[in-house]
């Protein structure tokens, strides 16, 4: 796919990995629909950067726990651009949930945001792409979906489900739509992490460094630009899964 002029809807595009993927697409000439929920100021920073690159991006707010807001967001993008060529499901929640204190509310929230929302977006946007005769869907998963972390069980389960969804949709939406996933390792630690915690985390990675959002963006571009890859999971973790 030549990304120039294509319309890309990126969820969670205001911050972190979603922001880097969105701006990488804008640098390739894509027209952006920048999704956010609460990070309005950050979203408009992304809009300003995309406009400097020559695009005419739009910001779309939606609570991904609401199926009605998801549907309204896609409708907004269609009214703005008339099509969707690229969907990147990057938005997610992530926090520690030790099993003794894990609640049903925690469980439901992780599945709603990290798995059900991508499913609903893939269903609605996948139908649009199928009618168009082309499209690329990229799901941002996590190595936790492959190697489950004991203190992050609902998060890990949601990402494992996202990987299964990727495989199933690659079959269901072929040949018009390609569906792939990227599985980052440790890319960004929480904002309140100390230098010592960051150093310890880096030592647990064979390449001895933490990843950067730009590492994931480069992997995303490969999967989006490729026309003969579908149902694949590209792991970008510095070798962390090998340990």
**Hey, is 51 helix, strand or coil?**
helix
Annotated active-site residue 155? The verdict is yes
Cβ(173)–Cβ(87) below 8 Å: no
Torsion of CA 181, 182, 188, 189, to 10 degrees: 70
Cβ(213)–Cβ(187) below 8 Å: yes
Dihedral class, residue 133 (left if φ above 0, else alpha if ψ from -120 to 50, else beta):
left
Cβ(135)–Cβ(129) below 8 Å: yes
Cβ(163)–Cβ(233) below 8 Å: yes
Closest CA to 88 of 213, 239, 240: 213
DSSP conformation letters of 181-227: EEEE-S----TT--HHHHHHHHHTSTTSS---HHHHHHHHHHHHH-S
Please tell me which residue in 36, 95, 155, 222 is annotated as part of the active site.
155
> Residues with catalytic annotation?
155
């Amino acid at each position: 796919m030549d990304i120039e002029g294509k319309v890309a809807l990126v969820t969670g595009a205001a911050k972190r990995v979603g922001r880097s993927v969105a701006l990488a697409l804008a640098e390739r000439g894509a027209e952006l629909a920048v999704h956010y929920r609460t990070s309005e100021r950050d979203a408009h920073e992304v809009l300003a950067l995309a406009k400097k690159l020559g695009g005419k991006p739009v910001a779309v707010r939606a609570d991904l726990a609401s199926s009605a807001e998801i549907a309204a967001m896609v409708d907004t993008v269609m009214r703005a651009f008339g099509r969707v060529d690229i969907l990147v499901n990057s938005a997610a929640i992530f926090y520690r949930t030790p099993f003794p204190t894990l609640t049903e509310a925690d469980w439901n929230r992780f599945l709603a945001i990290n798995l059900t929302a991508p499913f609903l977006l893939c269903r609605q946007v996948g139908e649009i792409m199928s009618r168009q005769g082309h499209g690329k869907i990229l799901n941002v998963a996590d190595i936790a979906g492959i190697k489950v972390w004991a203190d992050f069980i609902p998060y890990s389960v949601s990402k494992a489900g996202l990987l299964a969804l990727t495989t199933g949709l690659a079959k269901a939406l072929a040949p018009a739509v390609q569906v792939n996933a990227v599985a980052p390792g440790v890319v960004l630690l929480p904002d309140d992490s100390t230098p010592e915690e960051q150093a310890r985390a880096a030592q647990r990675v064979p390449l001895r460094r933490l990843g950067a959002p730009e590492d994931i963006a480069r992997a995303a571009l490969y999967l989006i630009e490729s026309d003969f890859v579908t149902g694949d999971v590209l792991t970008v973790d510095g070798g962390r899964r090998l340990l």
